[in-house]
């Protein structure tokens, strides 16, 4: 079964550059039996092209180089894809998967047949507390979302737009929506082209036991009527574990009037750190707070969890989920200060990832006191059976 499953995976991975991803997940036994083989990918393949994405500017040239490389050295299967990192990699969107016109729901039976997903189930996921016999697995970490292309010019309205909607992942744990971004029309986020989009999730870690579906419907508020709003991106795509790098890699989702850049990476042998942060006292008006994280899997990259005013945060619990390799360190960095001030106060605390357990820390700043609680959430054993 193991050799058969791995041969299936190899066959579906050899697609021409620019072609759409396969429309069917492998049967659960095949994915399970092939998992061990996937863990032994050579280090050089970790720098390869993520998912089945492509750079339109170099697709033909890359294919020619790949063919020549395969003849001389079959082991350099994906390294050539890193030669032009300044190009934009694009994630294909499934045809007929748009939400605004209801097309995705008309193909409900097709999604259920191909992926086992009930697309009409809009229930948000929830990961239960871990148990002693729970296990680690490969996980997808989404580090940031960025407005890569905006329909608004820099000279108009300072280049700002009001963005709302959602982006969510569906993994094999329960196939329910795990929101990375979720804002209503009455609570949009103001962003400009090139700026980060403040994420609101995920609620729990994203398991990469097999491929992950990414579902999104993000719109630009335009006036009082919703029907006048512009569509930024809309549809569903597949994040393929076979092509996922270990380094954060930006990939674009292109829409009718703009694009969103998703920076993500694979974290192996991982558990989820559920980080809860609450500002408990001494909040002064106009105080800004920045919270970022560094994990050992990608120590060169510090990614932002939150940045903004804490005036409305006092007493409210903020929750973040971070994928961390077990028995490695996760570092949280807090920066507090008044907007425009150079006298910011910085604090850093570190936590060692475990299969289960919980730990709390109190961070005392001159401007505020912050309570941090980290709960380690592993994955149920039945996922691997």
What value does the mean pLDDT of the chain take? 75
pLDDT at 158: 74
pLDDT band at 109 (very low <50, low <70, confident <90, very high): very high
pLDDT at 287: 73
Closest to 31 (Cα-Cα) out of 61, 62, 9, 55: 9
Q: Which of 150-154, 272-276, 280-284 has the lowest mean pLDDT?
A: 280-284
DSSP class of residue 316 equals P
pLDDT at 262: 95
Give the count of domains, the chain. 1
Task: List pLDDT tens digits, range 189-241.
Answer: 999 999 999 999 898 999 987 789 999 999 999 989 999 999 999 999 999 87
Tell me whether residue 71 is in a domain.
no
The mean pLDDT value for 241-267 works out to: 87
Task: List pLDDT tens digits, range 38-63.
Answer: 332 333 333 333 333 433 333 333 34
Tell me whether residue 66 is in a domain.
no
Tell me whether residue 63 is in a domain.
no
Residue predicted with more confidence, 201 or 8: 201
Taking the C-alpha atoms of residue 261 and residue 147, their distance in angstroms, rounded to an integer, is 6
The mean pLDDT value for 255-262 works out to: 93
Q: Say whether 221 sits in a helix, a strand or coil.
A: coil
| DSSP run (H or E) holding 161 | strand 160-170
Tell me whether residue 285 is in a domain.
yes
Tell me whether residue 337 is in a domain.
yes
Strand-pairing partners, residue 337, are 288
- CB count in 10 Å sphere of residue 376: 23
The mean pLDDT value for 284-294 works out to: 78
Tell me whether residue 60 is in a domain.
no
Token pair recorded at residue 62: 């890359």
332 pLDDT above the threshold of 70: yes
Burial 266-290 (b: 16+ CB within 10 A, else e): bbbbbbbbbbebbbeeebeeebbbb
Which of 32-46, 62-76, 130-144, 157-171: highest mean pLDDT?
157-171
Q: Which of 151-155, 307-311, 335-339, 358-362 has the lowest mean pLDDT?
A: 151-155
The mean pLDDT value for 163-171 works out to: 97
356 pLDDT above the threshold of 90: no
Which of 81-95, 302-316, 348-362: highest mean pLDDT?
348-362
Q: Which residues contact 243 (CB under 8 A, 6 or more apart)?
A: 13, 48, 49, 50, 51, 52, 53, 78
Q: Which domain holds residue 109?
A: 2-54+89-384
84 pLDDT above the threshold of 80: no
Residue predicted with more confidence, 298 or 224: 224
2 pLDDT above the threshold of 60: no
Closest to 213 (Cα-Cα) out of 184, 193, 249, 239: 239
C-alpha pair distances (Å), 364 with each of 311, 336, 372:
17, 11, 11
Q: Which of 4-13, 276-285, 350-359, 370-379 has the lowest mean pLDDT?
A: 4-13
Q: Which of 100-109, 181-190, 265-274, 332-341 has the lowest mean pLDDT?
A: 332-341
Tell me whether residue 67 is in a domain.
no
Q: What is the pTM of this model?
A: 0.76
Q: Where are the beta strands (DSSP E) in the chain?
A: 137-149, 160-170, 178-183, 189-192, 196-197, 206-207, 212-220, 230-239, 249-254, 259-281, 287-295, 303-309, 317-325, 329-338, 345-352, 357-364, 369-377
269 pLDDT above the threshold of 80: yes
Tell me whether residue 65 is in a domain.
no
77 pLDDT above the threshold of 70: no
Taking the C-alpha atoms of residue 165 and residue 170, their distance in angstroms, rounded to an integer, is 17
HSE at residue 351, side-chain half, CA atoms within 13 A, is 29
């Amino acid at each position: 079964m193991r050799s058969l499953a791995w041969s299936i995976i190899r066959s579906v991975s050899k697609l021409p550059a620019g072609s759409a991803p396969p429309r069917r997940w492998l049967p659960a036994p095949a994915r399970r039996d092939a998992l061990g083989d996937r863990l032994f990918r050579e280090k050089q393949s970790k720098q390869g092209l993520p998912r089945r994405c492509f750079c339109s500017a170099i697709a033909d040239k890359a294919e020619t180089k790949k063919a020549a490389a395969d003849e001389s050295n079959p082991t350099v299967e994906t390294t050539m894809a890193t030669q032009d990192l300044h190009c934009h990699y694009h994630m294909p969107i499934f045809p007929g998967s748009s939400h605004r016109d209801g097309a995705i729901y008309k193909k409900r039976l097709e999604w259920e047949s191909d992926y086992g997903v009930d697309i009409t189930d809009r229930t948000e996921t929830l990961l239960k507390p871990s148990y002693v016999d729970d296990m680690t697995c490969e996980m997808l970490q989404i580090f940031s979302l960025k407005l890569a292309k905006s329909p608004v010019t820099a000279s108009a309205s300072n280049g700002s737009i009001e963005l709302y909607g959602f982006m969510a992942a569906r993994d094999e744990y329960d196939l329910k929506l795990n929101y990375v971004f979720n804002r209503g029309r009455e609570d949009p986020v103001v962003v400009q082209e090139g700026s980060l989009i403040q994420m609101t999730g995920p609620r729990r870690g994203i398991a990469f036991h097999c491929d992950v579906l990414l579902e999104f419907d993000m719109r630009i508020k335009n006036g009082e009527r919703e029907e006048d709003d512009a569509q930024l991106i809309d549809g569903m795509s597949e994040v393929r574990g076979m092509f996922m790098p270990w380094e954060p890699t930006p990939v674009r989702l292109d829409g009718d009037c703009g694009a969103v850049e998703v920076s993500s990476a694979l974290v192996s042998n991982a558990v989820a750190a559920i980080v809860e942060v609450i500002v408990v006292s001494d909040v002064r008006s106009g105080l800004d707070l920045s919270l970022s994280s560094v994990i050992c899997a990608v120590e060169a990259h510090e990614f932002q969890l939150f940045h903004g005013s804490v005036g409305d945060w006092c007493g409210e619990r903020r929750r973040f989920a971070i994928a961390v390799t077990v028995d490695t360190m996760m570092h949280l960095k807090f920066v507090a200060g008044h907007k425009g001030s150079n006298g910011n106060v910085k604090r850093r605390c570190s936590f060692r990832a475990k299969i289960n357990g919980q730990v709390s820390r109190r961070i005392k700043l001159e401007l505020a006191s912050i309570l941090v609680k980290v709960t380690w959430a592993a994955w149920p054993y039945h996922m691997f059976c």
